[in-house]
């Protein structure tokens, strides 16, 4: 992994590296949880804090989560856009589709715009593939490099 990306991720989600109790190395265990190699103490990054809070307080809004966990609104919003969490009560339109502006529960695009986006990516890939593929006609360009009496040989 690129060092700048790794550093950005560490800063963005406030990932713990050193144990606060014994200054040992913290090992990532998954779902935002880190465990000390020496003393076994458990610490959480921003994702782990938010996830644990939501396990206990289903339906909490972003302000409540932010105040209780001390995780910024921006970090929580980024987690929702990354599909780590989903807004279950979308009356406020907290997250909007980046293409059409429709209110969504998680991610960056609504279902309709996501389908349009993927169709466009597929079409672009087809066009690129056609442009790179050699023509199948009997032209000299298609058979270039295939001259000679035996192109494929095998031992008997």
65 and 29 within one domain: yes
35 and 71 within one domain: yes
45 and 114 within one domain: no
Q: Look at residue 136 and tell me if it is in a domain.
A: no
110 and 41 within one domain: no
pLDDT digits (tens, 9 = 90+) for 39-83: 999 999 999 999 999 999 988 888 999 999 999 999 999 999 998
> How large is the average pLDDT for residues 7-21?
72
81 and 12 within one domain: yes
Name the domain count of the chain.
2
What are phi and psi for residue 33, nearest 5 degrees?
-105, 135
d(CA 110, CA 104): 6
Q: Look at residue 22 and tell me if it is in a domain.
A: yes
pLDDT band at residue 142, thresholds of 50, 70 and 90? very low
pLDDT-wise least confident of 68-77, 92-101, 108-117, 144-153: 144-153
Residue 145 has pLDDT above 70, yes or no: no
Residue 9 has pLDDT above 70, yes or no: no
Please give the mean pLDDT across all residues of the chain: 82
Looking at residue 135, what is its pLDDT? 60
Higher pLDDT, 133 or 64: 64
109 and 80 within one domain: no
d(CA 147, CA 128): 28
81 and 8 within one domain: yes
> How large is the average pLDDT for residues 97-123?
92
- Beta-strand pair 33-36/26-30: antiparallel
Q: Write out the residue range of the structural domain in which residue 119 sits.
A: 93-131
Q: Look at residue 147 and tell me if it is in a domain.
A: no
Q: How far is CA 104 from the centre of its chain?
A: 18
d(CA 71, CA 11): 12
Residue 90 has pLDDT above 60, yes or no: no
Looking at residue 87, what is its pLDDT? 82
121 and 75 within one domain: no
> How large is the average pLDDT for residues 136-140?
51
């Amino acid at each position: 992994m690129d060092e700048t990306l790794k550093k950005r991720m560490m800063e963005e989600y406030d990932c713990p590296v050193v144990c606060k109790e014994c200054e040992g190395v913290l090992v990532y265990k998954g779902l935002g949880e880190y465990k000390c190699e020496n003393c076994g103490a458990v610490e959480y990054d921003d994702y782990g804090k938010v996830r644990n809070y939501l396990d206990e307080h289903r339906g909490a809004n972003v302000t409540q989560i932010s105040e209780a966990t001390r995780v910024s609104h921006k970090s929580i919003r980024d987690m929702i856009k990354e599909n780590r969490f989903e807004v279950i009560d979308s009356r406020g339109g907290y997250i909007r589709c980046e293409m059409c502006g429709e209110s969504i529960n998680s991610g960056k695009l609504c279902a309709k715009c996501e389908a349009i986006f993927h169709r466009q990516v597929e079409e672009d890939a087809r066009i690129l593939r056609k442009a790179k593929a050699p023509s199948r006609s009997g032209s000299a360009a298609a058979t270039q490099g295939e001259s000679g009496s035996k192109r494929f040989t095998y031992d008997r």
